[in-house]
Structures are given as structure tokens and as C-alpha cells.
Structure 1
Amino acid sequence: MASQAARRGPMSVDEMLQKKKEEEAVLAKPKFLSKKDRERIALEKLAKERETKLQQQQNNGKSNDATSQNNIATNGSSSKSSTPVPSAPRSMQQRQRDIAGNGTRSNRDPSPSSETEIVDPETKLLRERYMGVTEARRLKRRRTASDRKFTFDWKTEDDTSADSNPLYGGDGSVSLGLKNTGEADEQKKRALELQDLPRRKKDTDWDNMHWSEKPLDKMKERDWRIFKEDFNISTKGGSVPNPMRSWEESGLPPEILRAVEEAGYKEPSAIQRAAIPVALSCRDVIGVAETGSGKTASFVLPLLSYIIEMPVLNEVTKSDGPYAIILAPTRELAQQIETETRKFCSKLGFRCVSIVGGHTISEQSFALQEGAEIVIATPGRLVDCIERRVLVLSQCCYVIMDEADRMIDLGFEEQVNKILEALPVTNSKPDSDDAENTRLMSTYLGGKDRYRQTMMYTATMPPAIERIAWQYLRRPATVIIGSAGQAVGTVEQRVEFVTTEDKRKRRMADVLNSGEFEAPVIVFVNIKKNCDMVARELNKLGWKAVILHGGKSQDQREAALKQLRDGEADALVATDLAGRGIDVPDVSLVLNFNMAKNIEDYTHRIGRTGRAGKSGVAITFLSNEDQDTFYDLRLMLSKSPLSKVPDELRRHEAAQAKFAARKTMQNIQ
């Protein structure tokens, strides 16, 4: 190696600089030291500092008295008067004197081999720095006044219990006898308060309780929001009162509540919970509710409460017309409302008369001669009676329009306007904030009449309905139940693709003979001639069928419905005429032999089952002729919690877009 270095010659300047940089880099690198190494280095450093201090002390001690130095070296202590200026903490002075005296550790010092026994303060500080606080010191930490868990801002002498409670007064002695009657009453009162304490303590937990467990006065805004969500209730309009939770909290007169109980109404439906309190506050109402949701009772009961406060009809006033009129689009719906209303009128002593087509006006005029508080009518026949002076509305102060959108669809908008214009104008509500004032709207005008109140129930709000509402209703409160235009959630909707008529007959036979459904059932068709054909097929299967369509007389219609309700018939075959207003109890199945022409008629058809909270099934036969309704039908099935969209309908091209949109795209192409 030496010979190689000699042949290579001396290192150049660049090589020397490079070597120096490498050495500096090696030195600059951090060197890892173990815990023992760090302690060894610290002890060596401390020993050097001690030697330096010791040499300084020895140099300074040479000038002092030799006797004092000998005493310090021999006794290890010195009087305070002869002690020099301290150069170390007091805890180290003894150790330094021992070292200065004999250069070795005293017998009291711990062995240097035992690192854990070093008691020097500087050593402890170093150990705490590198090793952390010892457990012994941690346990010896003293708590200060600021470490107290509870700090009170008052003193013992600030106790006021003796002033607020007489039991804490006196000398604190216990006496078995009572001094006087006043003291006995006071202690009895205190005992009652202590017994009542758990109940009062429970009052603080109302916020954590469900609305059904709270009394009415404990209900808060949050509880009412939850209540409305539970029953799918939404309201619009100013000063809308809260819904009622039960019949007892409805505010109806006691005689009506007794009639409700006798009629077998256990719990109010959603529309009844929301609409009855609004109507009782003398507000105009627009109700939008699902079909089969109990709308009839929601407007009949407030109406009866209104009439109870009116003067009783006598020989003079009975010729001035009824106190209230109820308009319905079809005869069947009008008669259904009449049946429901008479349940209560018979117990309250009121008369209810229906005026519909199919009966002679002379017959209906005779029924009105005795006077009636309530008249239920279809718009066309009521206009005929008004024009022929058979009926006047001079004291009518309550108007109800049921299925208002259906009345417009049937072309009754002109008749409805004529009826509303025939009402007296002296008792119209003001179109101001006063219309929302319950106290003001419930007063009598001139000691006899009251402000007119109008209720309108509809499934949709077409422009014609909005015009009527804007013209004749004053600051109405809108009550919406569920999703408008949809069937109730208790109906299971089944859809099957059955193309030909023969296949539909066979499939209908399979459904009815399966034993899944019991009478009564309703079968819907689109044209009158199909009613007779389907009825014959049902009779062959052993199901006694009756027919209902527009070609039947009023007596025939009423007889068919009566047979179905009384159990004399098992099935009803009908057109869309029976889609609205037909309320037959316990209909287990609605079978659409032909799909309805639009989704609105389909909705009302299947609404004949699953009524009054009961469950029902609706089966619909589809073909390619019904493509115009596929899109809306798919949406309705997807929103129903009990129904399922069949794959054939989901994948069908006509179910991907609305009919109007498809037609527009076809025209563009």
C-alpha cells in the first residue's frame, strides 16, 4: 500500500478538500447514544465540573486559617460564622466537604455502582430530563387549592335554608310532640310536597317523551312537527290550528262526540285530525287528500257543530232554504254522503235531503217542504231546483264541494258558479286578515246570520278550481294529506300483461277461484257492453254479479249497490261511473279487466278497496293498447310501499317517458 501511495505521489488539493469534506460529513452525522451512554457522559461531565470546583475551593482555602480547614476536613461541618460564601446548593455542601477532606465518598453516600441511589439534586434533574419524572415524585405531588374538584362561591355562614324552610329553624332538637295546630299543618304540607316531588321531577323529562305520552298542554312545536310527519299531514295558510290527537281533544260538542262513538269511529283518520280543527275555527278550507281517507266525516262533523249553534227551523224559516249545501259530482257520491250524514243527523234531530238526477223534481220538492238543515245535491239538479223556485238559498251559510276537480271534469263549472252566486252576499267573509280571526268570524251578523264558511275537497288543482277558490273562498287554509293523486298505502297493486280478451277471462277465473279473495269484489271495464259480458263470466264461475253503468236508471243503480252492500251479490261490474263515491265495506279485490284511460281514473278505481285503514288488493290487466298510461303507472307502483313494478313494465319503451313527451319526439323525428 505504501509503495502504491509513493508511486501515486502526494495528494492533490482537490483530493485533500474532498477528504476533509468526507471527514466533516462523518462528524456532522448525528450519533446515536444509548441511555447508558447518555448517563455515562452526563456523570463524566458532572465529575469534571466537581473537580474544577474543588480545585477552586482548594486554591481559595490556602489563604484561610489552617485550623478552620482542618476542622472542616475532620468534622464535615463548620459554624455559620466561619463558613465561606456557599458555592453550591446546601444539599451538596456536605458531599463537597467530604470530598475535600479525604477525596473519597462518605459512608453515607450510595455506591457509585448503583445508579438508582444517586441523591444529588443535579443528578436528579439530569435523570428527570432524560428518564422522566419518577413514580415516587409523582405520588408526592401535593394538591393545591386550585385542584379542588368542586369550588363553591359561598361560605358556610351564607346558608339561607333556615329562612326558606321553617323545618331548618330552631335549635335543631327533635320533638315528638306538636306544639300547635299551625305547626302540624306546616309539617303536613311539607310531607305532601315531598310526596309530590317525584311527579314534579318527572315533568322535566317531557322533552324525551313521544307525543302520544304527553298531555296536550305539554306539546311543543317539535312534537307537533313529529305528529304531522307520523300522519303525513302538511298545512298552508296563516294561523292554522294544530291537528287533533283524539276525538276527546277535537273540540266537538258532547252530543256529536256521543254520536261519533255510537257510529263506531275509534280513531280519527289523518284528514279528520287535520281538517276538523281548522273547520271548527271558522276558516275556509281546501282539502287535498288520498281517496278512501275518510273525507266525508271530516266535513260533516264540523258542519253539524256549526248547525247546532244556529236557530232551530220553524214554520217560517224552513221555507228560506237549508243552512248548508253539499255538492257532489255524481249521484252515487251524493247518496253516499247522505248515508254518512244521516248517521249523525238522526241522533241530533236534523233533517238531511238529497237532490240528484233520476228522481222527479216534484218528489224532491215534497221532501223539501218539511224543511231541511242540510241539502246534498249534484250541481245540475240543484240548479234546476233553484231556477224552478223549488229551493232558495237565502239563509245558506255553509258550502261544501266534494270532488271539486271531478265536477269540473264533468263540465259542471258553470253550474257551480251559478249555485255560488245564488248564495246571499250579506254574510260573505272579508278578504282581509279578519277572515283568519276565529272570534270575529264566529259572531252573528244582525243577531241571526253568521259569516259564510266554504270547504272544498279536491285531488288536483286545475285552473278552473283555482278560479273558484280565488273568487269564493276567503284566506283558506290548505290541508294536504299524503301525496295528492295517489292511492292509499294500504292497497297492494299488481300488474299483469294479458293481451287478448280470452286470456283475460281465463286469468280472471284463476284469480277468483284461487280462494285468496272473498266477496265483495269490484270489476272495472271501460265500455258498457263489456259489463254484461264480464257479468256472465262471473255468474258461470259461481259469483253472483250486478251491473252499474251510465245506461242504467237511478233505481237500477241504487238496487245494484244495495244488493252488493247487503251481501246479496258477490261482485259488481262497473264502468268509471263507480270509480268515485262508491263506498262498499270490506272490498277485498278491485280487478281492472280493462286499464283505465288515465292515471286519475285508475287511482280512484283502486281506491274502492283498502278503505278505512283496511288492506286490499288491486289487479290490473295490461295490453299494448294502454301504453299512454305506462309511464304514470310505473311511477305510481314505484311509490307504493306494498307494490312492485314488474320487469316487463319497467323495461317497456312506453314506460320510460310520458306520452306527451314521446309524441313530441316522434313529431320531431
Structure 2
Amino acid sequence: MPPPPVPTHASERRNDHEAADMESFVPDISEADREAIRSRYLGVDKKKRKIRKINDRKFVFDWDTQDDTLAEDAPSVVGGQRQGAQILFGRGRVAGMDDGGGTRKSSDSNTYHADAMERRKAAKGGTDERHWTEKSLAEMKERDWRIFREDFSISARGGQIPHPLRSWTESQIPKTILECIEEIGYKEPSPIQRQAIPIGLQNRDIIGIAETGSGKTAAFVIPMLAFIEKLPPFTDENRHLGPYALIMAPTRELAQQIESEARKFAGPLGFKCVSIVGGRAVEEQQFNLREGAEIIIATPGRLKDVIERQVIVLSQCRYIVMDEADRMVHLGFEADLTFILDKLPSDMLEGEDPGEAMDVDGETMVKKGRTRVTTLFSATMPSAVERLARKYLRRPAVITIGEAGRAVDTVEQRVEFISGDEKKKQRMLEILNSGTYPAPIIVFVNQKKTADMVAKDLGRANWSASTLHSGKNQEQREAALQALRSGDADILVATDLAGRGIDVQDVSLVINYQMANSIEAYVHRIGRTGRAGKQGVAITFLTNEDDEVMYDLKNGNLPRAAATIDLILHPRDCQEPRQQGPHRIGQARVCPAPSLQRNETEKRGGGPGLARIRYTPCARIYHDVIRAKRIGPAI
């Protein structure tokens, strides 16, 4: 007998009836309407668009894909798809293992690329990979000349710049002057001589920016003598019209040094050189000029004086050299230079286009009326020198050797922080008594009284020292330099008077007992050593009073390896000149070194801790400086 049916609750029967009525009430809707209702109440899951980076975007070419020749040139592309990298471990020579079956034959791909490379070489005619030292002059290409200039740090601009000298024998220097060069003993040209002499032989105006001690004297003396050789010789008819060439220098010592160097060349050629400098009687110099002179070397002040006295005229002066022009301007000779240059004849030919290249010989210049070639040499290029160049030089060739305002690489620069004259004296004697540096040695100071004091201290320590400063007359200055050159004096104590142009051979050491007042003077001081390619050392004693030059010293001239920890972390070393006020947090600093704050432990006697380090915004952080400060002393 079947079980009785389960009784249905009244509420359940009512719900079933309501559901049936609801189904009959809801109308049929389309799937699109369902999606609209669903999106209205539930929202839509929108697919986020993937942003493609600029570097990931595929470039769409304008040409048709049928024009693509990649498949022909690259066999690794098969069926329009580039093949992925294949793992070649253990597969013969490709994986570094022997295949055991002899040498494999090259694949078609390798053969194709080898043939393509050969075709390119054949099309270009081949590239000679030999260095320029292995080639003859005729084999030199433009690429070789570019490498040549890079090797010697030569930069030249101005249009139609001739190639630099590789050697004396390959130059266009007249044979008579080449014989003088060989007799003097010049083996190889210096970088400034390599580029300045070819340009000077074209009788072009030159601006030479070269490191001190780079051989600038011969760079302008040799083209000048080649120019004078082509001019008519001196006779009774023209000797009273003045010299053919004029060389101006800032100091008497430099002028006399140039005179000595020029006589080495001019004497064998039959030319006469006369110096006109202060400190000597005008009557004596007038007597030396009684028979005329092809070359005059002068200081601007005395030259202006003799011109105003009508002792000399410059009616036929055709070659002008301004050596150490920045120093002459610094000493206040700018007005004197302008006066002298205005007394010279015009450098323009009648009816000549100022834009034309100046490439004519001296005889043509005399016949046609052009009367001046102007050469300006300087170690730095301040605005006053630029004004002179713009006014008196025409379409000059600008030569830069190395970096303007820097010392030569042959000078090893060292900096030591020493406060107090007594400590300076002790340290100076330690360096001199070490036996590392043979005589001659030059010690630079800033004041005359300091020079005399240091010389006395050296005398008490059994060193033979002479002094050179503005308190000495001309005879005493010449005697001091001669004593150093001859070996009678081991050390020369001098002010900046000897900082420029003084050439004493084989100076092994320069000591800046007092730091120079400007970075330009510092460059010329240390340029007394490391000359003519020889090595030299320059040691500078710094104090907190030298803060005006610290920034330029470290960031502009001093090599990174020579900067001591004290100099790197000095507050004024991190500040450009003429900037006032301390640095604050968040203030941009021009120095890449961090700003250090010692912790409170040091104040309580717990040692020089560096727990707290405050970094201001800067380009780099010298962690090695912090470590070196902990470990050891400075140089």
C-alpha cells in the first residue's frame, strides 16, 4: 500500500500560485535588454587598455611589406618571422666543444655576411687602420689628422686651418731657419708649435690660448723670422723707419727672456734684436737703436714712453706679437696697448674685402700696402683681451691647446692645509731637506717683506736663496735670476713678478708659500716647473684666508686626486666666488660634496663621530671622502 501523500502547507501553496502569476506577468525581453539591465544595476567590467610605452611602439613604415628585403639580407628570418635564440650548449664548436668530425662548414648565413662585408670594403676602397705615426705625409687622411689633433689636445678654428706639423723636416719652414732649429737642439715641436707655426707661415692673424710652459716663444718667433726674411734688408734709406717686427711682453724679465730666445734664431740670419724695457736709461736704449733693429722686444709702458719722445717710430712695423696679453691687461697696460697699436699702419690692402683669407707673403704685403700681421698669445682669455682681439685682429685663427687657464699635465699639483707662519716654515724645510727635489727650486709669496723673511729663514737653514720682487732694481733682478740659472743660488724666493714667462731650466719644485690671489696667477706660478715636457711638482700651502680661490682651485684646476679631504669638505670650496651666506638645508649647492655635521659625541669628548650626515641637493655623494676622513690624514 503506497504511503499517504505529504500534506502541503497553506503558505507553500500560496507561493506557488504567486510565482505562476509572476511568470505570466513578466514579459519576454531580448538578450540585449537583459545586458542593459544587468549593466545598469551590476555595472560593467571594462577591460583596461594596456598603455604601450614609447619605446615599445612598433614603427609603421610607409612602404608595402612586399618591398621589405629583410628576408633576403637576413637568412635568420624565415617565413616572415624572426627565429628565436637557439640553445647551442654541447653542439660542437659553437658551444666550445669539438664536434669530433672535423671542422664544420660555414653556414649559408655566415657566408652571406662575410661576402657582404667584403663588398662594403671594396666599395669604400678599404680603411687603413695604421696609426698616423706609421704613415707618410702623403698617406695621411682627414681621419688621421683628427686623431693627430686629439693626441696633442689641439683645437683650431677660424676657417682654412692648415694641417699641424708632424715633424720639423715635413714643415714649410725655410731651410735657413730649420738649420737654426737643428743647431739649437729642438727635437720635436710642442703642441702649440705644431699648429701655430703652419698658420703663422700663412701670415694670418692668430689667437693662441695655450698652457703656460708650452713653448709659445718659438711658436711666434719662427713664423716672424720667416716673414722678415722676405722683406727688403735694412739700409741707410729705411733703417730710420723703425723695426719690421715688434714683440710686447708684460714684464722686463719676460721681455729679456724673449730677446735671448729670439737671438738664437736671429743672429745666424743676420737680424738684430733690441729690448726696450723699464729700469734702464732711455739714452742707453737709444744708443742701441742708432743703427736700427729688425726686431724690438718691449714692455708697453717703456715703449709708449720712447714713442712719445720720438726715439722710435713704427712706420714699417709689419709683424706684431702680444705675449701674455692677459697679464698686460691685468697690470693696467690696456690703454698703453691701444696707444701703441693705433700708431701702427693699417693692416688693410687698398680695395681688399675684409672677409677674404689673409694668405700672402711678406713681399706682396709690402708692395700692395698691407703692413701688419698680429699675433696674440695668452694663457687665459678675459673680456679685456677679447676686446683687443676684436678691434685689432682680422679673421684670426684661434688655437687652443689643452684647456684654457689650466696648467700642463706634466705638473703634479699638491695642496696642504697649514695655518701659521711657523708651521709653514717647518713644513717647507721638511720638504727641502727630504732630498727629493734637486735645485733649482722656486718659492712664491705675496708680499715683498715675506719674500725677504723667507729668504733669511732659508739662509739660517744653510740654503742659498735669492729674492726677486718689485723692490729690487733691474740689475738686482737680473742678478737674482742669473744666480738661480748658474747654480750659485739653490732657491729663488719671488712674488708674482716671476710668475709669468720666467724660464729657468729644470725647476723640479715650486712651493706656493702663500696662495696666489687669483687662480690665473696660481696657474702661471706652477707653470715655472714641468716645462718643455719634463716632470715637475707644485706644492701649495692653504689657509682659511684663501677661501676666495678654493672653489676655482678644486673645481677648475686641481686634479681630483690632488684635492685633500680638508679642501674637499671646506665650506668655501663648495661655494662659487662672490656668493655670500652659509648654505641651508634645501638650498642648491654647486659643489658635489656632502655637507657634514659632527654628532654630539664629539662635543662631549667621544671622538670625531660622523653619525649625522646632512646632504644638501647635489650631483654626487662622495662616500669615499667620508671613509677617508675616518681612516687617515690628508696628503
Regarding TM over 0.5, the answer is yes
Which residue number in structure 2 is paired with residue 304 of structure 1?
225
Inter-partner Cα distance in structure 1 for 2:437 and 2:381? 36
Q: Does 1:316 align with 2:234?
A: no
Which residue does the alignment assign to 1:659?
A: 577
Identity %: 56
Do the aligned residues in 1 keep the contact of 2:228 with 2:362 (CA within 8 Å)? no
| Alpha-carbon distance in 1 for matches of 2:524, 2:425 | 23
By how many angstroms is 1:370 displaced? 1.3
- Which amino acid is the alignment partner of residue 213 of structure 2? G
| Structure 1 residue 450 displacement after superposition | 4.7
Contact 1:324–1:374 (CA under 8 A) maintained in structure 2: yes
Q: Which amino acid aligns with 2:305?
A: D
How far off its partner does 1:434 sit?
A: 5.4
Q: CA deviation at 1:460?
A: 2.4
Tell me which amino acid in the other structure corresponds to 1:499.
S
- Secondary structure, aligned partner of 1:256: helix
- Count of residue correspondences: 467
Q: Distance in 2 between matches of 1:207 and 1:372?
A: 51
Among 463, 466, 480, the residue aligned to 1:560: 480
Once the two structures are TM-superposed, the CA of residue 559 in structure 1 deviates from its matched residue by 0.7
Show the counterpart of 1:332: 253
Instruction: Tell me the residue number matched to 1:501.
Output: 421
Counterpart of 1:350, as a letter, is F
2:299 to 363, 378, 387: 378
Q: What RMSD over aligned residues (CA atoms) do the two structures have, in Å?
A: 2.4
Q: Provide the C-alpha distance between the structure 2 equivalents of 1:449 and 1:346, rounded to a whole number of angstroms.
A: 28
1:445–1:283 CA distance, 2 compared to 1 (3 A): closer
Q: For residues 370 and 243 of structure 1, do their structure 2 counterparts lie closer, same or farther at Cα, with a shift above 3 Å needed? A: same
Which residue is 1:576 aligned to?
Answer: 496
* Paired residues for 1:336-415 under 5 Å: 336-415=257-336
Q: Once the two structures are superposed, what CA deviation does each residue of 1:15-58 show, in whole Å capped at 9, x if it has no partner?
A: xxxxxxxxxxxxxxxxxxxxxxxxxxxxxxxxxxxxxxxxxxxx
- State the shift of 1:459 in Å: 2.2
Shift in alpha-carbon separation, 1:536–1:288, aligned structure 2, 3 A = same
What one-letter code is carried by the residue in structure 1 that aligns with 2:565?
A: D
Question: How do 1:113-512 residues align onto structure 2 when only pairs under 5 Å count?
Answer: 207-425=128-346, 432=353, 435-439=356-360, 442=362, 444-445=364-365, 447=367, 450-512=370-432
Using the TM superposition, give the Cα deviation of residue 283 of structure 1 relative to its aligned residue in structure 2, in angstroms: 0.8
Contact 2:349 2:368 in 1 (8 A): no
* Separation in structure 2 between the aligned mates of residue 430 and residue 534 of structure 1, nearest angstrom: 62
Q: Give the superposition deviation at 1:652.
A: 1.1
Which residue type is aligned with residue 208 of structure 1? E
| Partner amino acid, structure 2, of 1:392 | V
Kindly provide the amino acid, as one letter, of the partner of residue 220 in structure 1. Answer: K
C-alpha offsets along residues 174-210 of structure 1, whole Å, 9 cap, x if unaligned? xxxxxxxxxxxxxxxxxxxxxxxxxxx9xx8771111
Does the Cα contact within 8 Å between 2:231 and 2:362 map onto a contact in 1? no
Matching residue within 510, 531, 550 for 2:451: 531
3-state secondary structure, aligned to 1:208: coil
Q: Deviations over 1:613-651 (max 9, x none)?
A: 0000011111111111111111245547xx521111111
Contact 1:520–1:587 (CA under 8 A) maintained in structure 2: yes
Task: Give 1:632's match in structure 2, choosing from 539, 548, 552.
Answer: 552
Residues 540-589 of structure 1, C-alpha deviation per residue, up to 9 Å, x if partnerless?
Answer: 22220000000100110011101111111110000011100111000000
C-alpha distance in 2, partners of 1:506/1:429? 67
Give yes or no for contact 1:241–1:278 (8 Å, CA) kept in 2.
yes
2:464 to 540, 544, 547: 544
Match of 2:505 in 1: 585
1:417: Cα distance to partner?
0.7
| Cα deviation, residue 317, structure 1 | 1.0
- Conserved in 1, the CA contact under 8 Å of 2:227 and 2:362? no
Give, in whole Å, the separation in 2 of the partners of 1:228 and 1:443.
32
- Distance in 2, Cα, partners of 1:429 & 1:358: 41
Point out the structure with max Rg over C-alpha.
1
Secondary structure (helix, strand or coil) at the match of 1:535 reads: helix
Query: Which residue is 2:566 aligned to?
Result: 648
Offset at residue 442 of structure 1 (A): 4.9
Matched letter for residue 384 of structure 1: D
Report the alpha carbon displacement of residue 408 of structure 1 after superposing the two structures with TM: 0.8
Alpha-carbon spacing, 1:379–1:295, altered in 2? closer, same or farther (3 Å): same
Is 1:545–1:573's contact at 8 Å kept on the other side of the alignment?
Answer: yes
Q: Cα–Cα, structure 1 residues 646 and 266, in superposed 2: closer, same or farther, change >3 Å?
A: same
Stretches of structure 2 lacking an aligned partner (at least 5 in a row): 1-107, 113-121, 588-635
Cα deviations across residues 399-453 of structure 1 (Å, max 9, x unaligned)? Answer: 00001111111111111011111112275698846541424x6552563855411
Q: CA-to-partner distance for each residue in 1:298-336, whole Å, 9 max, x for gaps?
A: 000000000111111012211110000001011111111
Q: Is the 8 A contact 2:406 2:557 kept in 1?
A: no
Q: How far did residue 600 of structure 1 move?
A: 0.8
8 Å CA contact 1:288–1:484 kept in 2: the answer is: yes
Picking from 514, 518, 522, the partner of 2:434 is: 514
Partner AA of 2:422 in structure 1: D
Return the alpha-carbon distance in structure 2 between the equivalents of residues 483 and 429 of structure 1.
39
Q: Cα offset for 1:279? A: 0.7
Letter paired with 1:566: S
The whole-number CA distance in structure 2 between the counterparts of 1:262 and 1:549 is: 35
Helix, strand or coil at the partner of 1:532: helix
Given candidates 505, 512, 535, the residue that maps to 1:615 is 535
Task: Give the direction of change, closer, same or farther, for the CA distance of 1:417–1:382 in structure 2 (3 Å limit).
Answer: same
Distance 2:283 2:525 in 1: 34
Residue 506 of structure 2 aligns with an amino acid whose one-letter code is D
Distance in 2 separating the partners of 1:426 and 1:234: 26
- Return the alpha-carbon distance in structure 2 between the equivalents of residues 277 and 587 of structure 1: 30
Alignment partners' CA distance in 1, 2:506 and 2:315: 41
* TM-score normalized by the length of structure 1: 0.67
Give yes or no for contact 1:583–1:608 (8 Å, CA) kept in 2: yes
Q: Is the 8 A contact 1:432 1:475 kept in 2?
A: no
Letter of the structure 2 residue corresponding to residue 346 of structure 1: G
SS in structure 1 at match of 2:562: coil
Q: Name the CA shift for 1:214/1:410 in 2 (closer, same or farther; >3 Å).
A: same
More helix by share: 1
TM superposition shift of 1:466: 1.7
Note the C-alpha offset of 1:664: 9.4
Which amino acid counterpart does residue 256 of structure 1 have in structure 2?
Answer: I
Q: CA deviation at 1:461?
A: 2.3
SS in structure 1 of the partner of residue 439 of structure 2:
coil
- CA, structure 1 residues 442+363, in 2 after alignment: closer, same or farther (shift >3 Å)? closer
